[in-house]
Amino acid sequence: MKKLNNNRRNFLKVSAATGGGLLLGMTWLTSCEREVAIEEGTGFKMPPRPDMPDRWSEVNAFVKIGENGVVTIYSPNPEIGQNVKTSMPMIVAEELDVDWQNVVVEQAGLDTDNFNSQLAGGSQSIRKNWTILRQTGAAARYLLVAAAAESLGVPVAELRTEKGIIYHDASGKSLGYGEVASAAAGIEVPEDIQLKDPKDFTIIGQGKKNVDALEIVTGKAVYGIDLQAEGTLIAGIVHPPAFGMELKSFNADEVKQMPGIRHVVTIDAKPGGAEMQWSDVNAFPQLIAIVGDKTWQVFQAKKALKVEWTTTSAGEFSADHRKELKELIESGKADVARRDGDPEQAFEDADHIVEATYSAPFLPHNTMEPMNFFADVNGERALLNGPIQTPEYLRKTVSAVTGLAEEKVDIQLTRMGGGFGRRLYGNFGVEAALISKAIGGPVKLVYTREDDMTQGTYRPDYLVKYRAGLDAEGKLIAFHVRGAGTNGSPVFANRFPAGAVENYLAENLSRESNISTGAWRAPKSNFIAGAEQAFLDEVAEAAGKDPIDFRLELFDRAIADPVGEKNDYDAERYAGVLKEVRVKSGWDESGNQHRGVAAYYCHNSYVAQVLDLSLKNNRPQVDRVVCAVDCGIVVNPEGAVNQIEGGIIDGIGHALYGALTFADGKPEQENYNTYRLIRHAEAPKKIETHFVDNGIAPTGLGEPSLPPIMGALANAMYKATGKRVYDQPFANPTLRG
């Protein structure tokens, strides 16, 4: 928190160079000229790109203005496909009061002096930066108006702005931002800056196209894996084939004779004594690196290398994982995370008890762009560039393992081919830095898909057992959740239905493993939401109630007279999305579709979904999903809908097909021929998204639509087949191990 204050002053000040000093000397090879506007006759028109000015004035760390009025806004946070590179600058542009068509967005590098929390994770980019971005835009606007007041010799109060122009209505005079930008630089920023009334927003709340869309569809968008600079060699890694193994020895004689191969070195990404960060989750720190001229040559050499591995801890099997988790649930000693009332007594008093156990396997992230990073490290400094969700932590670890001071480690950010949590763990960046240091020149490390899928850091496997006690009227009087997982329990003790049930017990169990695990899109929620929502469906059925009515009764209780004080959620907003989805899906007029409902709260946002399913040749086909979302103010509705759709498709895909299994510590799937991801024909035919408009400051959007859809799917599958599904992946339980 202290840090935030510090930064708050900094970003308001006029800053020196942004966008990273050290890397400015590096010349990246680009394939083509950038961008041209589109002219065409039918329907949609891409707005023309503004002409670039000759001279820029830096107004603050986020904003520079050209003499022709074109505005560059730096997007500080890593872009993994969640579209913050469009939505964060929109917030600055709103308060700056410029025409969005005159805005050019650039990705900022890591700059902890000027930017706050440059991290992509937990769906927090917008939530954590909402106020800061608004203040930044408003502060820049103030400086420009003050400069105009001086130049026109009139009081600030007599001036107004609109779309990048400052008007003095009394005299009919006006000045463009570009005309006063250079004079604005010396002006002091006042303590209190007036922000717009959200009623007056003209950019926030309007659908804006992805700022990189044209580059993407023309193949010009540059990802980390695309970076090429003069003299850069390609590096590949060879890691142990199984968790529990380590490098013993290798013979590189043959490989060194292969075309284009220059170096074969070993690296240690976790050397003893170096301070590590939470993001350094990595089962295989000791690696062999092969460095050569071309990617294909390096990939071939990786396959040809002769290596001996040694077993340091027992290799695990998926079938045992499941058994162990089951045993834990049945007889393990649990940590009590929350207890309300007297659950044991209430279960004894219950007229009827419903009990069910749910499970899900390990999942790899499978970002479409495999892990990679560019690094150029020498005794003086380290230059890094590539896809990373946690640049600040990567810098710390690179500093620790290279012995360079943190200020000597420069990190630039590329657009990323997906994140889903995988790029929170920057081992590939550390590896690239160490390889570059070892060979004394710039390298681009590229993982093969097989490296990417077999190297960790996975969503762990989970198992959870629920019990619900109903009285004779079908009222929920007791609720018990007992969850277990590899390297941690999936249970959130203070989430619904905690607070809505008099007698409640939440317990956690965990088993340890040598398989590295970590956050995966909507951590823990990505399993527990589906389990809980499927269980509530079963309980509602046992109570003889409509599943939406049943949940709304519980929310009524949590609103009127909540049990306990630590409930994470706002029951009114929760009930609100459920009511909205009931109306929008036509729930009460359901015909003969097989229909499932679910609602969940995570990442500070509320989502309810109704999923319609039919069986085609005995295979589930999702015909329609209707989704109601309460994430407060929606900054960019167009991008927001895309995120919601993506989360839904991602959730359905993984619930139906996703599973990584292990035999003797070795992942049994390593590429898309054996690991199944959802494909075009399997996606829902239709997704309708409705936002609840409540004017509350924005909350998370990249994750919240994924968790509940797994429950809605399970509930619809029950309607379609008459059989409840408990174990993911639903479409192939035998893969479960």
Partner 1 sequence: MPTYQLKVNGQPREVEATSETPLLWILRDDLNLVGTKYGCGIGSCGACTVHLDGVAMRSCQTPVGKLAESGQAVTTIEGLSDDGSHPVQRAWLEHDVPQCGYCQSGQIMSAVSLLQNSPQPSDAEIDAGMSGNICRCGTYVRIHAAVKTAAKLQANS
Cβ closer to partner 1: 507 or 703?
Answer: 703
167 binds, among ligand FES, partner 1, none (CB under 5 to 8 A by kind): none
The partner in contact with residue 214, picked from ligand FES, partner 1, none with C-beta cut-offs of 5 to 8 angstroms by kind, is partner 1
* 8 A C-beta contact, residue 510 and residue 484: yes
What is the smallest separation between the CB atom of 211 and partner 1, expressed in angstroms? 11
Residue 41 near which of partner 1, ligand FES, none (CB within 5-8 Å, type-dependent): partner 1
Strand-pairing partners, residue 486, are 511
Q: Please give the Cα distance from 582 to 289 (Å, whole number).
A: 56
**Half-sphere exposure of 199 toward its Cβ, with a 13 Å CA cutoff?**
1
Q: Which of residues 464-483 bind partner 1 (CB under 8 A)?
A: none
| Segment near partner 1 (CB under 8 A); pick from 153-161, 177-185, 265-273, 668-676 | 668-676
Q: Given the rule CB under 8 A, which of 120-128, 198-206, 242-250, 292-300 is the region that contacts partner 1?
A: 292-300
d(CA 555, CA 310): 55
- Residue 680 interface partner, choices partner 1, ligand FES, none, CB cut-off 5-8 Å depending on type: partner 1
Task: Choose between 418 and 483: whose C-beta lies nearer to ligand FES.
Answer: 418
Q: Which of 124, 282, 367, 508 binds partner 1 (CB under 8 A)?
A: 367
CB of 641 to ligand FES, least distance (A): 14
Q: Find the shortest distance in angstroms from Cβ 684 to ligand FES.
A: 16
Q: What is the largest CA-CA distance in the chain?
A: 83
Cα-Cα-Cα-Cα torsion 425, 426, 430, 435, nearest 10 degrees, comes to: 110
Exactly one of 673, 695, 723, 734 binds partner 1 (CB under 8 A); that residue is 673
617 part of the interface to partner 1, by CB under 8 A:
no
Whether 372 and 225 have beta carbons less than 8 Å apart is answered as yes
Asked if 195 and 95 touch (Cβ cutoff 8 Å), the reply is yes
Instruction: Please give the full DSSP string across 98-159, using - where no structure is assigned.
Output: --GGGEEEEE----TTT-S-----TT-HHHHHHHHHHHHHHHHHHHHHHHHHHHHTS-GGGE
CA 470 – CA 350 distance, rounded (Å): 5
- Closest CB to partner 1 among residues 219, 273: 219
* Tokens 């996703």 found at: 658
Does position 119 interact with partner 1 (CB under 8 A)? The reply is: no
Residue 681 contacts partner 1 per CB under 8 A: yes
Cβ-proximal residue to ligand FES, closest one: 368
Taking the complex as a whole, the smallest distance from the CB of residue 654 to ligand FES amounts, in Å, to 14
**Helix segments in 544-636, DSSP class H:** 547-560, 571-585
Q: Is 256 helix (H, G, I), strand (E, B) or coil?
A: helix
Q: Is 237 helix (H, G, I), strand (E, B) or coil?
A: strand
Q: Which is nearer to partner 1, 299 or 309 (CB)?
A: 299
460 binds partner 1 (CB under 8 A): no
Q: Within 10 Å of residue 188's Cβ, how many Cβ atoms?
A: 10
737 touches 321 (CB < 8 A): yes
The closest alpha carbon to 728, from 542, 551, 534, 540, belongs to 534
In this structure, the strands spanning 335-340 and 409-413 are unpaired
8 Å CB contact between 677 and 657: yes
Compare residues 368 and 697 and give the one whose CB is closer to ligand FES. 368
The nearer residue to partner 1, 269 or 453, going by C-beta atoms, is 453
Q: Pick from partner 1, ligand FES, none: which does 299 bind, CB < 5 to 8 A by kind?
A: partner 1
> Cα separation of 238 and 247, whole Å?
10
364 lies in the site for partner 1, by CB under 8 A: no
Q: What share of the chain is helix, strand, coil (3-state, %, to 5)?
A: 35, 25, 40
2: enclosing H helix or E strand: helix 2-12
Q: Rounded to the nearest 5°, which phi and psi values hold at 374?
A: -100, 140
∠ CA 527-529-531, nearest 5°, is 70
From the list ligand FES, partner 1, none, partner contacted by residue 9 (C-beta under 5 to 8 A by kind): none
Which 137-196 residues touch partner 1, going by CB under 8 A? none
Between 81 and 164, CB nearer to ligand FES: 81
Residue 37: half-sphere exposure toward Cβ, Cα within 13 Å: 10
Among 16, 38, 185, 195, binds partner 1 (CB under 8 A): 38
Q: Report which secondary-structure segment, H or E, holds 599.
A: strand 594-602
The residue among 250 and 299 lying less far from ligand FES, judged by its C-beta, is 299
CB 417 within 8 A of CB 449: no
- Please report how close the Cβ of residue 671 comes to ligand FES at its closest, in angstroms: 9
197-226 residues in contact with partner 1 (CB under 8 A) are 207, 209-210, 212-214, 216-223, 225-226
* Residue labelled with tokens 């670039």: 52
Q: What are the residues facing 727 on neighbouring strands?
A: 359
**What's the CA gap between 363 and 350, in Å, rounded?**
38
Q: Would you say how long the chain is, in residues? A: 737
Cβ distance to ligand FES smaller for residue 553 or 650: 650
With a CB cutoff of 8 Å and minimum separation 6, the contacts of 22 are 381, 383, 410
Q: Is 366 in the site for partner 1 (CB under 8 A)?
A: yes
Q: Considering beta carbons, is residue 210 or 455 the nearer one to partner 1?
A: 210
CA distance 361 to 252: 37
Q: By the criterion CB under 6 A, which residues form the site for ligand FES?
A: 81, 368, 418
> Least Å distance between CB 720 and ligand FES?
29
In the block, residue with structure tokens 């009990």: 355
Contact between 304 and partner 1 per CB under 8 A: no
Q: Quick check: 231 binds partner 1 (CB under 8 A)? A: no
**Shorter beta-carbon distance to ligand FES: residue 224 or 418:** 418
Residues numbered 247-276 forming contacts with partner 1, rule: CB under 8 A: 259
Whole-number minimum distance, CB 292 to ligand FES, in Å? 20
Position 648 contacts partner 1 (CB under 8 A): yes
Least Cβ distance, residue 225 to ligand FES (angstroms): 12
> In whole angstroms, what is the distance from residue 301 CA to residue 290 CA?
7
- What is the closest distance, in whole angstroms, from the C-beta atom of residue 402 to partner 1 in the complex? 27
Dist CA 125 CA 108 (whole Å): 14
Q: Binding to partner 1 by residue 649, rule CB under 8 A?
A: yes
Q: Is 40 in the site for partner 1 (CB under 8 A)?
A: yes
Please identify which residue in 20, 50, 81, 658 interacts with partner 1, judged by CB under 8 A.
81
User: How many residues make contact with partner 1 (CB under 8 A)?
Assistant: 80
- Shortest spacing between CB 253 and partner 1, in angstroms: 20
Binder of partner 1 out of 66, 69, 647, 667 (CB under 8 A): 647
Min. distance of Cβ 652 from partner 1 in angstroms? 9
Indicate which single residue of 113, 251, 679, 733 sits in contact with partner 1 (rule: CB under 8 A): 679
Token pair listed for 471:
């009285």
CA 489, 490, 495, 497: dihedral to nearest 10 degrees? -100
| Residue number, 333 or 680, with CB nearest to ligand FES | 680
Q: Which is nearer to ligand FES, 176 or 418 (CB)?
A: 418
Rule CB under 8 A: say whether 34 interacts with partner 1: no
Question: Quick check: 43 binds partner 1 (CB under 8 A)?
Answer: yes
Instruction: Tell me: does residue 567 bind partner 1 (CB under 8 A).
Output: no
Peptide bond into 729 cis (omega under 30): yes
